[in-house]
Amino acid sequence: MAIGRILWSLLAGLAASTAVVLSGYAQAHGRLGVWDLLLAAPWPYVAYRILADRAGDRGSQTAAESAATMADDVGTAYRAAAEALASAIGAKDSYIHPHSGRVPRICELVARKLGLDESQVQRIRLGALVRDVGKLGVPDYILLKPGPLDAEEFAKMRNHAAIGARLLRESGLPDDIVEMVLHHHEKHDGTGYPDHLSADCIPLGSRVIAVAVVYDALVSDRCYRSGWSHSEAIEHIHGASGSSFDPDVVGAFLAVEPEIQAIDSRYSDHAVPEDSSCAAIDSITQANRELIALFDIAQTLSSTLEMDEVLALLANRTRRLLQASSCVVFVADKDHPKSLVAKAASGRFEDIMIGARARCGKGITGKAAAHMEPRVGSFDPNDITLTSLSHIAAATGGSHRLPPAAGGPGGVESTTLDFRSCAVAPIVSFGELIGTINIYDASSHAFTHDQARILAFVAHQAGMALQNAKAFEDARDCALRDPLTNLRNGRFLRHCLEREMSRCSRLGEPLSVLGIDLDNFKAVNDQLGHEAGDVVLRDVADVFRHELRDYDVIVRNGGDEFVVVLPGTSSEEAWQTAERIQTAVEAYAEHHVAGVPGFGASVGAASYPGEAVDATSLLARADASMYREKRSRKQHRLAA
């Protein structure tokens, strides 16, 4: 209107000027009169009205176009918000991401093939996008479970459709879209959920989404199975027509199979679409992957009570989680309180890291252990001491010649390791240091403080798992050990002997067994008392330990009877050992049991495979040999 007034003023001024000129012209030439002026005067006003009307039309048209543009922008924003929400949910669910766009795209193709108008197509697409919003109400331990769900877990998972429908209804989405989400797990024959609807009672959008969702699930990898091929999934969909799926929808689905196969290729786990990249979504995905990995570690560590298995699993899973070159688990050495020894390793140099040692308070490992807090820094070759030069030579092709380390004889410097970065987290349980988890990498500054935080969380989980394994190990050891002599008991003998016989058979080595019975031990109890008898049994056990090798197994088989398992020992060597034990026991008796005549040890021997083929016959032969020796010794004493 301001422009109109300006134009009107301009035209009015022009009309007035024209009137003055025409009046002067008429007086000079006598050609124009008053009537001529009256006829000329209205035309400027007419021109103004034409301009004003056109300006008004243009203004109305511009306002309408602006309103339409705004509506389009709002619609685009809503769709973008829905897609962002769907992507976020997909990023949270590792089975959906990175192919969260596959289901909506398939739904579009099928809906168009069914002859639906574009508005219906887009509504079905929107329903497909937000179908899993209800998973926000499903516990993470169910969503992240690395395997099939049990009945109780599946019942909780089924609630996601109803939860999603309630969320969307409260958000003001149209009822038809809400109904699509609520019923997209219904089946054509009425066996679906949540309301057991069937056939045409199921919203058409839900029927379309159902087919797309099942196809997507079949061709996607799961941690407990590989994804099906496209043809296998198509065959399954076709076979379920009329039972799980609407035959008309399946027909439309099969009609657009080539396009679906192209989508399947585009959204495969190995070919993420270029337009799907988003830093925020990637952050959610990475956080979710960390959560899944931590959940997997916690579950894996609780799957066994065997200490060696727990340590090996811990090293392997931690290295994979933090993408390190190597992971080593150090355990506090109970025989040397200030020392840590590597009990498990995974990755680069794993063979030579086993047995490596670190000292509390020294280096990054020792300081993390002493202060019980995680540390991140550069790799220090003096932090740990390797213990096997031959292992290093084998691992490095013999190219490294290293002098002995200051840590002790047989140790070697760790300068052969090409690590640049290190992060360490202490493993603590109930305030007690159990060990450390160390990760190493060949690149500099490889580990961030955020990774140290994750490592500390893993160490916390490991502390509980290792404490449980230690408790189990102690309980089992107590059950398999004689409390008086601290030797293994008869319950342990059978398992040990069968294991050693199997190993010797596999390696082609001999194995021998000694049967030992103390002579006249009853007189010790009768004359000196049972307490003194207990002391004698403990002392004799120590005599056996002194005369045998570290890896020989000594068993108190009950009362005053003992069995010794000698791996890699021939019959001749076994009898030499038997004589050595008899001599040592007689020497002990002279000094400590002099008041009991005839105290000593009768020892028999039997060897595998020469004298027996199984554990039972081997023990029987050793026992028979011992009793022959016992009778012979008794006759010798009587003769003397």
Assign residue 132 the CATH number of its domain: 1.10.3210.10
456, 545: one domain:
no
CATH value at residue 376: 3.30.450.40
User: How far is residue 511's CA from residue 528's CA, in Å, rounded to a whole number?
Assistant: 38
Instruction: Give the residue from 238, 266, 294 where a domain finishes.
Output: 266
CA 552 vs CA 47, 252, 381, 547: distances in Å: 120, 75, 37, 10
Residue 2 within any structural domain of the chain: no
User: How far is residue 481's CA from residue 488's CA, in Å, rounded to a whole number?
Assistant: 4
107, 149: one domain:
yes
Tokens at 27, concatenated: 């007086």
- At residue 312, the 3 state secondary structure works out as helix
Instruction: Give the residue from 439, 454, 476 where a domain finishes.
Output: 476
- Successive 10-residue mean pLDDT values, the chain, 640 residues: 46 47 49 47 54 60 59 56 60 52 90 93 89 81 71 85 88 88 93 92 94 90 77 92 94 92 63 48 59 66 79 89 92 86 92 90 90 91 74 42 39 66 92 92 89 87 85 82 91 89 91 94 90 93 93 92 94 94 93 86 93 91 92 77
Split into its structural domains, the chain has a count of 3
CB 107 within 8 A of CB 212: yes
Q: Is 35 exposed, middle or buried (0-12, 13-18, 19+ CB in 10 A)?
A: exposed
CB 553 within 8 A of CB 512: no
CB 553 within 8 A of CB 496: yes
465, 520: one domain:
no
DSSP class of residue 272 equals -
472, 494: one domain:
no
Q: What is the pLDDT of residue 443?
A: 92
Residue 11 within any structural domain of the chain: no
Q: Which structural domain range is residue 367 located in?
A: 304-391+418-476
- At residue 275, the 3 state secondary structure works out as helix
166, 242: one domain:
yes
CB 611 within 8 A of CB 571: yes
382, 447: one domain:
yes
Q: What is the pLDDT of residue 11?
A: 44
361, 458: one domain:
yes
Residue 42 within any structural domain of the chain: no
Tokens at 339, concatenated: 């020392």
261, 141: one domain:
yes
- At residue 322, the 3 state secondary structure works out as helix
CA 561 to chain centre: 50
Residue 454 within any structural domain of the chain: yes
Label residues 205-221 b or e (16+ Cβ within 10 Å = b).
bbbbbbbbbbbbebbbe
169, 210: one domain:
yes
Residues with Cβ < 8 Å from 639, sequence gap 6 or more? none
Residues with Cβ < 8 Å from 262, sequence gap 6 or more? none
Q: What is the pLDDT of residue 334?
A: 81
CATH value at residue 625: 3.30.70.270
175, 126: one domain:
yes
Residue 408 within any structural domain of the chain: no
User: How far is residue 341's CA from residue 317's CA, in Å, rounded to a whole number?
Assistant: 20
The strands making up 326-332's β-sheet, listed across from edge to edge, are: 357-359, 339-347, 326-332, 432-441, 421-429, 375-378
Q: Which amino acid is at 418?
A: D
Tokens at 540, concatenated: 């004799």
569, 441: one domain:
no
Residue 19 within any structural domain of the chain: no
> Which of 603, 610, 615 lies closest to 497, judged by CA?
615
Residue 199 within any structural domain of the chain: yes
Residue 132 within any structural domain of the chain: yes
Instruction: Give the residue from 219, 238, 266 where a domain finishes.
Output: 266
Q: What is the pLDDT of residue 397?
A: 45
210, 331: one domain:
no
Positions of E strands within 250-383:
326-332, 339-347, 357-359, 375-378
